[in-house]
Structure 1
Amino acid sequence: MRTTTRALMFGLYEQFQKTLHCPHTGTFTFCHAQAAMCAGFVEASMCPLERVQVLLQTTAHHEKFRNSAEVVKQLRSHGVHEFYRGLSVILVRNGLSNLLFFGFREPLNRKLVEVTHRNDISNRFTGIVCDFVCGSLLGASISTLFYPAAVVKNHMQSKIGGPFENPFRVLKYLLVGRDRSALAIYSGVYLNFTRSMVAWGITNTIYEMLHRFASRYA
C-alpha cells in the first residue's frame, strides 16, 4: 500500500502543478504549496485501505479476522462511513507532510549538490547519492514530526462501530494512559525513523531517476 500512496503523492503533485499552472522557476511558490496540499488530500482516498490494514495489525482482532475480505465484510455492515474512520487525521497528515516534503526537497537537494561540488566530489553517482540523502533526511524527519498523528490515527482506526472520536480527545486519552508523558507517545519512533530513512531515500532516488529519464525522451 505504501508503494501506491507514494506513487499517488509524486504523480498527483506533478499533475496538480500542471493543472494550477505553477511556474517552473525552481522556487516553491504558493501555487506549489496548493499542488502539494491537493495531492495529499486526494492521496487520502486510500483511507479505506489504511483502515483495513490497521485492523489486521491490531492484536485484539487477530482471532476475529483472518484476511482482508473478512474485515471489509465487517466494516460494510456498519455502513460506508466506517471505512473512513480517522479520515480527518489522514487529511491533515497528508496535506502538511506533502507541503513540507516538496517545500524543502529542492532547496535541500541544491544545498547537498553545492556541498559535493565545493569539496570536489563530482562523479556520475553524485546526483543519485544527493537524491537518496535528501529523501532520507526529509522522509525520516517529517514522519517523526507526524508520528503522534499516526499513533492517534491507529487508535481511532483500531475500533469498529460506535461514534467517531475527536482526534484531540484521543490524543488527550493516550497521554493520560501513558502517564501524561509526551515522550511516551513517541514509543517506537526509532524504528519508524530508520525505516523512513531507507524507504524515502529509495523512493526519492527512483522518482528523480525516472523523472530525468522521462524528461530526456519527452
Structure 2
Amino acid sequence: MTGSAADNGGDGGRGHPVVRFQSFLHGGTSSLLSALPTLLVFPVYKTVFRQQIHNTPVHQAVRQLYKEGPVKLYRGVAPPLLMRTLNGTLLFGLQDTLLRQLSCSPPNAISASASSALAGFGAGLVEAAVFTPLERVQNVLQNGQNDRQLPTLKSVLARLRSQGRVRGYYRAFLPVTARNTLGSSLYFGLKGPVCDVVAGQGLPPLASSFVSGTVTSMAISLTLYPLSVLVANMQAQAGGEMKGVRACWQALWRSRQRSVVLLYRGGSLVILRSCITWGITTAIYDRQQKRSN
C-alpha cells in the first residue's frame, strides 16, 4: 500500500462495508502472524523496559532478569501479545476507514501522504484511548519491584481498579496519546513514499514493504523513544505518590543526569524489535491489501 486512493480500493469501493471490514481483518491478521517474533523478542523488550525504569546498562538488566529465572522472564507477556493483535486490527482498520472518508474531499485538496498521515493521527488517538489500560497493566507486571505485592494478574487488576480510572488504568494517558498519534501519523504518512523509493531500486513488492516498514518504524521509535521511557516510568509503579506529567519528566531527566545518551539507554534494542515486528507486519498487510484490491 502506497497511500494513494487507487491502492486503497479505488473510487468504487470506498464506501462498501466489506472493503472497510477487510482492512480491519488484514490488520489483525498481519499483527497476529507477527506475534511469534513478538514472543521471541519479548526478553529483548523486557530488557529495554528494565533499562528504561532503572537506568541500568544492558548487561546489568540481563543479569537482573537471569537471577529472576525463566518463569518470571515471560511475566507480562500476555498483554503485549493481546495488544499486538488488537492493535493491528484497530490501527490499520481505522486508518483505512478514515482515509477513505478523506479521499472523498475535492481533488487536490490534500496530498495522498498528508491524507494518510491525518488518518493515522485519528487512528492513533483512538488507539491510545483503547490500549492505555493494557499498557498500564503490562508495565506493572514487568516491573520486578511489584512481584511480591502484586504476584498475579488478578492482584494487579484489583489494585488498579481501587485507584480509580485516571490514576489506575489511564495513568500517563497524555504522553501515550502524544506518542501514539505522532507515531501513527508518521508511520502511515511515510511508509508509502519510502516504499515507492525502495521499489524504484528494483526490489519486489514484498521486500519493498518490509524495508519500508522497517526503516519507517526505526526512525519513529528513535524519535519518540523519550516518550516511551516517560510512559514506562509513570506506569511501572502501582502505588505511592502520583506526580503529573511535567513533574515526572523533570524527575526522569534528573535521574538520567540530564544526559540524552542516558535517556536513550536501550534505544538500540528498540531498533531491533521494530525491525522484526513492524517490518513483517507491514509486508503482510500490504500484500493482503493488494490481493483484495
TM-score (norm 2): 0.66
Contact 2:117 2:187 in 1 (8 A): no
Between the aligned residues of both structures, percent identity stands at 32
169-178 or 201-210, larger mean C-alpha shift: 169-178
C-alpha distance after superposition, 1:45-103 (max 9, x if no partner): 11110000000001110122233222111111111222100110111001111111111
Alpha-carbon RMSD: 1.9
Residues 133 and 201 of structure 1 are in contact (CA less than 8 Å); yes or no, is this contact kept in structure 2? yes
Distance 1:88 1:163, change over 3 A: farther
From the superposition, tell whether residues 22 and 95 of structure 1 become closer, same or farther in structure 2 (CA, over 3 Å): farther
1:39 maps to: 123
- Cα separation, 2, equivalents of 1:163 and 1:16: 40
Partner of 1:207: 285
Q: Choose which of 163, 176, 185 in structure 2 pairs with 1:78.
A: 163
Show the counterpart of 1:67: 152
Give 1:22 shift.
5.0
State the SS of the aligned residue for 1:115. coil
What residue is the counterpart of 2:196 in the other structure?
110
Letter in 1 for 2:127: E
Instruction: Within 5 Å, give how 1:1-40 maps onto structure 2.
Output: 1-22=83-104, 27-29=112-114, 31-40=115-124
Please state how far the C-alpha of 1:165 moved relative to its aligned partner.
3.0
* Structure-to-structure mapping, 1:60-209, within 5 angstroms: 60-81=145-166, 82-116=168-202, 126-161=204-239, 164-209=242-287
Q: Verify the 8 A CA contact 1:22 1:32 in the aligned structure 2.
A: no
How far apart are 1:6 and its partner, in Å? 2.6
Question: In the TM superposition, what is the alpha-carbon distance from 1:160 to its structure 2 partner?
Answer: 2.7
Cα distance in 2 for residues equivalent to 1:64 and 1:58: 11
Structure-2 separation of matches of 1:102 and 1:14: 10
> Secondary structure of 2:113's match?
coil
TM-score normalised according to structure 1 size: 0.87
Deviation digits for residues 182-210 of structure 1, max 9, x if unmatched?
A: 11011111111111111110010011011
State the distance in 2 between where 1:59 and 1:128 align.
40
Check 1:19–1:162 CA distance in 2 against 1; reply closer, same or farther (3 A cut).
Answer: farther
Query: What is the one-letter code of the residue matched to 1:144?
Result: L
C-alpha displacement at 1:144, in angstroms? 1.4
AA in 2 matched with 1:60: Q
> How far apart are the structure 2 equivalents of 1:3 and 1:197?
17
For 2:117 and 2:197, the matched residues in 1 are separated by 21
Bigger RCO of structures 1 and 2 (CA < 8 A, at least 6 apart): 2
Return 5+ residue gaps in structure 1 as ranges. none
CA distance, structure 2, for counterparts of residue 88 and residue 147 of structure 1: 15
Q: SS of the residue aligned with 2:201?
A: helix
